[in-house]
Structure 1
Amino acid sequence: MNTIAGSPESLAPHPRLYLGEAAGRRLRGPFRLPVLRAAAEDVARRADDYLAGPEFEWVRNTHNAHLLRARHMQGRVVTLLVQWSRTGAARYRDAARDHLLEMGRWDYWSWIAWRQNQSAPDAIFDLSYGENSATLAIGYDWLHDSLDASEREAILGVMRRPVAAFLRHTAPETRAWWYGRPDSNWNTVCAGGAGMLALAAYDDLREAALILERARASIDPFVGEIRAANGGWPEGIGYWNYGMRYFYMFALSLERATGARLPWFRGGAVRDSLAFPTLLTPHPGCPCSFGDVNQWSPLPFHLAAARRLRQPAVLAELTRHLRPPDPDAPLSWPNSAELLCLHDGAPSAAPARTAPFLHLYEGLDWAILADRMPSPRLYASVRGGTTEVPHGHLDLTSFHAVVGDEAMITNLGPRLYLDTTFSARRWELFEMIPMSKNVLLVDGCGIARPSAVATRALRTPWGPAVRLDAAEALSPGRRDDDGVRRYVRLVLLMPDTGLLILDTVERPHASLFEQRFFTPARVTAAEGAFVLRGARQSAALACACSEDAALHTAAAPLTQPAGEPPTMLRQITRLLHDEVVLVALLTPGPEPLPLALARGPRGAIEIAIGGGSPRRLQFSRDLRPRG
C-alpha cells in the first residue's frame, strides 16, 4: 500500500525530513575539513545578507525565470534555518518564516502559467510548484516546534496553493504529463516536492495521506527506469542531479518520518546509479555525458544517499569532486547549508583502481572506457541507445575523450535554453543535431530520428572497445537515394597508446564521407594530423582513410557564441565513393603517431600505428577484431 501505516502519531517528531536530528548534531561542528569551513563561512555571510528582507531581485527575461526564483528562495530559506540552528539567534528563524510567507504573496509560481496568463493558483503543477513545495516542507518541518498558532496557520495557508494544484493535476481524469513518467526529472521534482510537503504537515493537512499515495505511485516507474538502465540515466548527468536530488530528498524523508525501509532502495541497479555521474565525470570539471546539460558537480544529497546505500567508493569519489563554494556565485540551491547538514566531517579513503576499465550500461547503451578508474589518464564515453529520450540530441555513436585531466574531444551542447529548445523547431538548432557531434557524416547528414543503436562491449588484445552497428540509425529504412547499406563504428582504447576511432561505411551510390570532431583546445596542423593544446594537457589526432581525404578546421557556429569557439576538426574524402574506411587516433602529447590503413581480402582492415616496426591491428570488414 502506498500509504503511511498507522496514525500521525506514528511519525517521527519534527524535524522529520531528510535534514533531521543528525543534521542538527553536525551543525554544532567543529568543521575540520577545509571544504566544510568554507561552507560555514558562506552560510554565515549569506544568512546575514538575507536578514535585509524576503524580497529580492530576480532575472525575468530568461527561460523558466520563476523556477530560478524558486531555487533562490529555497537557498535563502535553508541557509537561514542552518544559521539559526548554528547560532540560536532568533533573527535567522524569523527571517526564514518571513521568506516562507513571502511565497504566498507571489502572483505566479509558474513561468509557464505566467506566459499563458493563467493566474489561477491551481492552473498547473510544474517544476516551480515542486521546488516551492519542498521549500515550504523544509521550512515548516524545521520551524514547527517554534511556531505559534498564528504563524502555523499562516504557513499552512501558503501550502494550500500547491496542495490544491497537486491534487488537481494528479487526479486520474486530469493528470499532468509528468505523472508516472519513468524517464523524466519532472516526475520526482513534482511528486517528490509534494510528498515532502505532505510529510512535513501530515498532522495538519487532511489531504496528506492522499498526496503521499499519489506521490509514491508516480515515482515507482522512475525507480523502474533506474533498474531498466542498470544504474544509468537517459537524461544524462545534469538531469540525473536534478531528478535524483528530489527523489532522494523525498525518499530519505519518507524513511526517516516513518521508520520504514523503502523497497525503492533494493537491488544493485539503484546502488550502482550513485556512481553514474562520477563515471561520466572522470575528473572534477570534466563532464563527458550526453544531452542538454553536460555538467555535474556533487550535491549534498548524494553523500546522504551513498551512506544510506553503503557505497564507500562513491563517497570517496564525491569527496574528490567537492570544491569550496564560490562566494561570488549567485545562490541557487542551498548547497553550502546542506553540505554542513549532510557531510559527516570524515575524510574518505581512496577507492581501489580498476585497470583497464570498461563499463556498459546495458539498457541505456552508454559505455565508458579508460586506462584506469578512477583518475584515468586516458578516457572515453560513448553514446549508443535511442534518440527518443527527454533532453536527448541526435548524438548516437558520438563520444567524448579526455587526456590526463582535460577534455580534448567533446560534443557541443546548448549554452542556454531558448523558446525553440523545447519546440517543434528543436531539431533546427545546431547544438542538437549530428553536425555538432563527434560522428560520421554521409553526404553532409548524420543520425536521423527516431532511431536506436545497440552498443556491444569488447575485450580485445589491445584494450577495451565498444562496437556500434548504426546503419539503420544513419538512414532509417535504408532508402537507395540517401541510405547506407552498412555502417559500423569501433571505439578502441589502448591504454599504452591512445584512443582509436574506426568507421566503415558502404552506400549504394557514390557519396561524400566525413569524420567530424570538436575540441576546446588550440589547434595547429601537422602532416595527416591535428595537434591539440589545452590549458594543462596536449594531444594529437592522427587521421587516415582508405580513399584520398583532406583535413580541415573551422570555428564551430554556436547559436550563442562566447569567447573562443570550439574548433571543428574534419577528415573528408576528396571525391565521392560508395565504400570507405576512416580512422582517427588520439594520443597524449603533441607528437602524432604515424597512422596507416590498408584493405585486405574480403574487405579485411589493417591499421598500422607508429614508425619503423609499427603495431598492426587487424579487423574484419565489419570491424570485428582479429588476432
Structure 2
Amino acid sequence: MSELPPLARRRFLQQASTATAAWWISPRLFGSETPTTHVHPRIYLSASGHAGLRTPADLRAAIASDAWSRATWDRIVQLAQTEATQPPLLPHSPVPRRAAASIRDRNLDYHLCEATGTRLVRFALVHLITGDAACRAAALAQIEALYDPERWPDWIDQSHVRFGHPADLRTGMLAQDVAIAYDWLAPSLDATERAFIIEGLNRRGIQPFLTSVTQDAWWTHDLNNWLTVIYGGLGITGMVLAGEHPDADRLVSLALDAFERYLSIYGERGEFNESVAYANANRMPVALFLAQHYATAGGDNRLARPPFPELCRWVMHGTLTNRRLVPFGDCHPEAPVMAGYISAVAAAAQDGVLQHYYLTQQAETTNPLELVWYDPRVRPDSPAGREPLATAFTAHGGMIVSRTSWDPDRAACIVFAKSGREENHEHNDVGQLGFDALGERLIIDIGSPSSYPADFFEPHSRWQYYNASIRSHNVLMFGGREQRYPVRERGESIDVSDLAGKVTAWSHEPGHGTAWRIDLTPAYTGAIQVTRTVLHLWPGYVLVFDEAELDAAEEISLRWHTIDQAEPTAAGAFVVHGNHAACVGHIAALDDTDLTFRRREHAYAPPYHLERSGDPLEQRHESYIEATATGSRCRWLTLFASGTVTDFGANQHWQRTSNGWTFSGPEGLIEAKITTTEISLRAREAHRSISLA
C-alpha cells in the first residue's frame, strides 16, 4: 500500500482548502437549482414522511405521548441548552473518560470525537424540533471550530498518522456527525451556510477518505471497526449530500459495497468476529443501513433481516447483571452496556424482546440518535420464558452462557465461558471461564490495560502485555507458552478456526443446570489432547474438570483470577469475597500429581509498560490463584460454591469423600462425583442434579 510522506496530510488539507474554497462557497454549488430543491431532513427523520418514514412531527407526537421519549427528550434539551452556553469543544477539552495524556497532547481520541459529534447532533435536533436559535448558533460555532486548522489541526488520531493515510477512524466519526447535523440544520440554513458546511466536509472528510481509498489503505480490506466507522461515516455523508456534492453517489456506493463484504463476518446465530464486549462496533452497520432506508425514501430496511436481529440476541445473551457484558477480549469489565443501536433493530423487526433488552440496559441517554431510532409502538416483552437460560454459540469466540434467570440486577449466578477465538481484539483465552454471583464479579476476566500501548496490535508483542496473554486467563498453560495465535499483517485475512476449540458435549436440564465439554487441543502446542468439562448446578455450584496429555513432561499451570486477593491453603482451598457475594473454591488433582498453590499478582515490566502516549500503564496488580505441577499429564478438578457472603465463608470447605466431594450449603448437601463413565453434581435435598457422560 502506498503512503503519504511526512506532513503530507497537513499539506493535503492546505492545498485542498485553497483549491476548492472559492468554488464551493458560490451559487454554483447548487447548479441551476435553488437550495430548497435539496429537501432536508432526509436521514433518520424525513421531511416527506413517504412510506411511513418518521417525520419531525411524528417525533414531536412521540415526545408528547410516550413517557420514555419524553424523559429522554427532556434530558437532551436540558443538556443541549447548557452546552450552547459553552465554547466549542477543542482538542484539549476535557470530556468524560478522556485520558489526561490525550488532553495534554491534544490528541483526537475516541472520547473527544464522540463527545464533540454527539453534542453537535444534539444541537441540530433540538433546533429542528423546537427552533431553538441558541442551539443553531452553537452548532454552527462547533462546525466552524472543526473546520479551522488552527483550532482542529487534523481529523485524525496522532497514533494513526504512522499508517500514511489522510483518513482514519476520527475522520469517519466526525464526517458522519457533521453530515447528520447539516441534514437537520439545513431547513434553516441559507445558501452560503450550506456551502460553507459542504466545503468543509469535502476538505476535511470526503477528499481525505477518497485519497485513502485510492492509496488502497489497509482498512479497506480488514473486516473490522475501521472499515465500518470510516466507510460508514462517509457513506452516511454521501446519503446526506445526494445532489449537493459531486462525489455523493460514489461515497454511498463505496460504503454499501464495503458493508456487504462486512456482513459476511457474522455467524449463523449473529455472532460477531470480535467479543461481545466490543459489540458496540455494530452500531455503524446499523447506522448505515437505517440511513439507507431513509435515503431511499422507505426502501428495504436491511435491519429487519439477518444478521441484525440475531446479532442483538447474541449481545443480549452476552449481557451480565448490572448492565455489564461478558468480558472476553479487549474490554473494560465494569463498563456499562452500550446498546443504543439495538432500539433501531427492535423497531425494524418489531421485536418486543429486543425492545425490552434496550429499555432495561440503556434506558437513560442524551444521545439524539437513540431518541430518533426508538419506536415507542414496539411493546417490550421480557426474555423470561422466551429465550433460553443456557446457550452455546459456535462461531468465532464460541461464547457459552449459563444463567439462573434473566433478572437484570441480581441473577443468582451467571457462568460465562468460550470455546473459540475471535478475529479482532482477541486474547489468548480459548477455554476461558468465569462467573458472577448476585450481580457481582467473583471469578473474573481482567480485560484490557488502562490504555492501548503503541505495539499492542502488532504481531507477537501483543502477548507481552499480560492482559492479552494466556497468563491472565483461567485456563491451562503448558511450559509458560502462549496458546497458538495467527500472525497476520494489516489488511490480510486469516481463518483462525483451526486455532479454536469445539464443544463436543452439551446438556441442559431446565431448572437444574447446564453441562458442556470442550476439546481445546487445537489451541495448544506440545499437547496431544486437552479437554475442559464444566458443570453448572443451579443456583451457584460450578465444577471444572481439566484433562491434558502432553508430548513431554513440563510445567503445567492453572490460574483462577479472583475479584479479591484470595489466598489458597496448602491443600488448594480458598474463599473469594465480593461486597455481598462470595464463593468457596477448591483445586485438586485426581491422580498422583503433587500440586503447589500460591497467590500472585500481575504487573507490567519494561519495555512493555507504557501507553502509546509514553505514559506508564496503570498498575492494577490483579490477583490470581495458581496451581502448578510438572508432568506430561494432568487431571485437575476445581469446585466452586457461590452465594451470599453470610452463606459462604471461611468455615466452609469442599470435603473429599471415598467417591467424590461434598459441600454443605444453604440448599443442603452438594455432591460432586467423577467416575470413568460420568461427571455429576447433585443437590440431594433440593432434588436437583446435572451430569455429563
Please, what TM-score do these two structures have when normalized by structure 2? 0.76
Distance 1:310-1:368 versus aligned 2 partners, 3 A rule: farther
Deviations 1:525-564 (A, max 9, x none): 5664221111232222222212232332123325567696
Distance 1:124-1:562 versus aligned 2 partners, 3 A rule: closer
CA distance in 1, matches of 2:129, 2:619: 42
Corresponding residue of 1:83: 126
CA distance in 1, matches of 2:457, 2:261: 24
Amino acid at match of 2:420: G
Asked if 1:53 corresponds to 2:87, the answer is yes
Deviations 1:60-108 (A, max 9, x none): 4579635443222202201212332454221211211222232211321
Distance 1:373-1:231 versus aligned 2 partners, 3 A rule: farther
Q: Is the 8 A contact 1:397 1:470 kept in 2?
A: yes
Corresponding residue of 2:319: 281
Corresponding residue of 1:291: 329
Choose from 571, 577, 597 the match for 2:627: 571
Q: Is the 8 A contact 1:379 1:401 kept in 2?
A: yes
CA distance in 1, matches of 2:315, 2:389: 16
SS at match of 2:441: strand
Q: Report the alpha carbon displacement of residue 45 of structure 1 after superposing the two structures with TM.
A: 3.4
Corresponding residue of 1:341: 372
Q: Is the 8 A contact 1:16 1:200 kept in 2?
A: yes
Stretches of structure 2 lacking an aligned partner (at least 5 in a row): 1-33, 47-53, 94-101, 487-498, 610-615, 681-690
Q: Report the alpha carbon displacement of residue 126 of structure 1 after superposing the two structures with TM.
A: 1.3
CA distance in 1, matches of 2:565, 2:347: 42
Q: Is the 8 A contact 1:379 1:403 kept in 2?
A: yes
Corresponding residue of 1:542: 586
SS at match of 1:283: coil
Amino acid at match of 1:545: A
CA distance in 1, matches of 2:446, 2:44: 37
Corresponding residue of 1:431: 467
SS at match of 2:467: helix
CA distance in 1, matches of 2:273, 2:113: 26
SS at match of 1:52: coil
1:189-588 correspondence runs (5 A): 189-226=229-266, 228=267, 230-241=269-280, 243-262=281-300, 264-265=302-303, 267-294=305-332, 295-322=335-362, 324=364, 335-344=366-375, 348-353=380-385, 357-375=389-407, 376-386=411-421, 389-413=423-447, 414-424=449-459, 425-450=461-486, 451-456=499-504, 458-459=506-507, 463-475=513-525, 483-496=526-539, 498-521=541-564, 523=566, 525=568, 528-546=572-590, 547-557=593-603, 565-573=621-629, 576-588=630-642
CA distance in 2, matches of 1:556, 1:146: 57
Q: Report the alpha carbon displacement of residue 23 of structure 1 after superposing the two structures with TM.
A: 5.8
Distance 1:614-1:390 versus aligned 2 partners, 3 A rule: closer
CA distance in 2, matches of 1:213, 1:195: 8
CA distance in 1, matches of 2:318, 2:193: 46
Amino acid at match of 1:140: Y
Deviates more, 1:462-471 or 1:552-561: 552-561
Q: Is the 8 A contact 2:308 2:345 kept in 1?
A: no
1:101-140 correspondence runs (5 A): 101-105=144-148, 106-112=152-158, 115-116=161-162, 123-140=165-182
CA distance in 2, matches of 1:472, 1:300: 37
Q: Report the alpha carbon displacement of residue 148 of structure 1 after superposing the two structures with TM.
A: 0.3
Q: Is the 8 A contact 2:559 2:626 kept in 1?
A: yes
Corresponding residue of 1:479: none
Q: Is the 8 A contact 1:185 1:239 kept in 2?
A: no
CA distance in 1, matches of 2:296, 2:552: 66
- Counting aligned pairs with the same residue, the percent is 20
Please, what TM-score do these two structures have when normalized by structure 1? 0.84
Asked if 1:94 corresponds to 2:137, the answer is yes
SS at match of 2:220: coil
Q: Is the 8 A contact 2:401 2:414 kept in 1?
A: yes
- Aligned-pair Cα RMSD in Å: 3.3
Q: Report the alpha carbon displacement of residue 355 of structure 1 after superposing the two structures with TM.
A: 8.6
Distance 1:195-1:433 versus aligned 2 partners, 3 A rule: same
Q: Is the 8 A contact 1:524 1:530 kept in 2?
A: yes
Amino acid at match of 2:506: L
Corresponding residue of 2:671: 615
CA distance in 2, matches of 1:609, 1:63: 59
Q: Is the 8 A contact 2:125 2:184 kept in 1?
A: no
Distance 1:114-1:557 versus aligned 2 partners, 3 A rule: closer
Deviates more, 1:404-413 or 1:262-271: 262-271
Distance 1:278-1:200 versus aligned 2 partners, 3 A rule: same
CA distance in 2, matches of 1:114, 1:369: 36
Amino acid at match of 1:108: D
CA distance in 2, matches of 1:79, 1:358: 40
SS at match of 2:477: strand
Corresponding residue of 2:40: 14
SS at match of 1:610: strand
Q: Is the 8 A contact 1:35 1:323 kept in 2?
A: no
CA distance in 2, matches of 1:179, 1:254: 20
Deviates more, 1:184-193 or 1:256-265: 256-265
Amino acid at match of 2:121: V
SS at match of 1:234: coil
Q: Is the 8 A contact 2:286 2:303 kept in 1?
A: no
Amino acid at match of 1:289: P
Distance 1:22-1:550 versus aligned 2 partners, 3 A rule: farther
Corresponding residue of 2:31: none
Stretches of structure 1 lacking an aligned partner (at least 5 in a row): 1-7, 326-334, 476-482, 599-605
Q: Report the alpha carbon displacement of residue 288 of structure 1 after superposing the two structures with TM.
A: 1.4
Report how many residues are paired: 584
Amino acid at match of 2:472: S
Asked if 1:164 corresponds to 2:195, the answer is no
Q: Report the alpha carbon displacement of residue 379 of structure 1 after superposing the two structures with TM.
A: 1.4
SS at match of 2:218: coil
